[in-house]
Structures are given as structure tokens and as C-alpha cells.
Amino acid sequence: MKNIVLIGFMGVGKGSVARAIVKRTTMMALDTDDVIESMENRSVKEIFAQEGEAYFRFLERRTARWLKKKVEGTIISTGGGFFKVPAMKKIGTVILLNAPFDTIYERILAHPDAEKKLKKRPLFQDIEKARALYEERLPEYLKVADMVIDVSDKDVDTIAKEIIKKGKKR
């Protein structure tokens, strides 16, 4: 059974959607940032600060190789830049969760843990830089996605149901 791979910008809700799918199916989920953090025994923020972004991207490529070879039937949520690993589509069916940048940012701010959510993301420290990164990545996300879900006005359960329904039709 193929994996489902959730891609999309920071804060769009990839992890929450993965957890909602787990609740409704027998699938298990994993998150590439979690895999990297446990492998390194330190946070993404620490890896960026202590080793730099290039090393983090190397760890993402290493994780991608493992996913391709060893993981199946799993719902995989990914860090916002993970989609750049080579042969991404070989990992599974790629689903882009997307919303306009301002919607994503407003949602993060509305969250009770907003400060924590922003602090742990090294590439979301400057809002204009984050916006530019979103603009740069959007066409690239669209290119790699097998399916695109606009999550702007949807709650997590609705999105999860949509993905499960589409999965059954395949």
C-alpha cells in the first residue's frame, strides 16, 4: 500500500491533518521533522542554529531515502521544505495542503501557542522573508503535488475526510 505524503508551507496544518486521518483509519503516521529530531536527539531549531540549514537538508534527504525503501502504507507529514528531496513522488501519493500566506499566518497567530509555534521555526522569524519563501515555493509545491487541497475554510476533520475519500477512489 502506498504512503500518503502531506506537503505544504509551515503552519498549514500537515501534522494535525495526519493525526485526524490516523483517528479515522487504521493507518499510522510519522512526521519527517520528528524522525530527524529523534535521530539527532535535538530540535530542528537547534540543528539549524548549531549546524546550519544545509545539514538539516542533508538529514531530510537521508530520511527520504529511508522512507522510499522501508516505509509503506503510512501517512507522512513533512517539514515545509522536505518536498525538495530527489524523486519525492517515489515516497508516495503527494498531497499539497495550501492556503494563502496571510491565512496561514493569521491562523498561527490565533493559536494559543502562537509564540511557541513561531519560535520553533527558524524560517518563520521574519514575516516578510517567510512571505517571500511562500511565494517562491508555491509553484514548486504545485509541480510536485498529485493532489491539491485548499485548506483555507476547512477544519482538520473535513480535510482528513476528503483525503480518505479520495484515497478510497484510487
**Residue ranges in contact with ligand S3P by CB under 6 A:** 10, 33, 44, 79-81, 121-123
Cell of 28: 499510522
**Residue in the shown chain whose Cβ atom is closest to ligand S3P:** 79
- Shortest distance, CB of residue 28 to ligand S3P, whole angstroms? 18
Rounded to whole angstroms, what are the CA distances from 64 to 77, 78, 88, 166? 12, 10, 8, 24
- Kindly tell me the sign of the dihedral angle through the C-alpha atoms of 8, 45, 92, 107: negative
d(CA 66, CA 53): 20
- Shortest distance, CB of residue 57 to ligand S3P, whole angstroms? 9
The residue among 81 and 92 lying less far from ligand S3P, judged by its C-beta, is 81
- Shortest distance, CB of residue 87 to ligand S3P, whole angstroms? 19
Residues 6+ positions from 71 with CB-CB distance below 8 Å = 3, 30, 91
The residue among 33 and 92 lying less far from ligand S3P, judged by its C-beta, is 33
The residue among 48 and 71 lying less far from ligand S3P, judged by its C-beta, is 48
Which of 69, 95, 104, 134 has its CA nearest to residue 5?
95
The residue among 34 and 169 lying less far from ligand S3P, judged by its C-beta, is 34
- Shortest distance, CB of residue 82 to ligand S3P, whole angstroms? 7
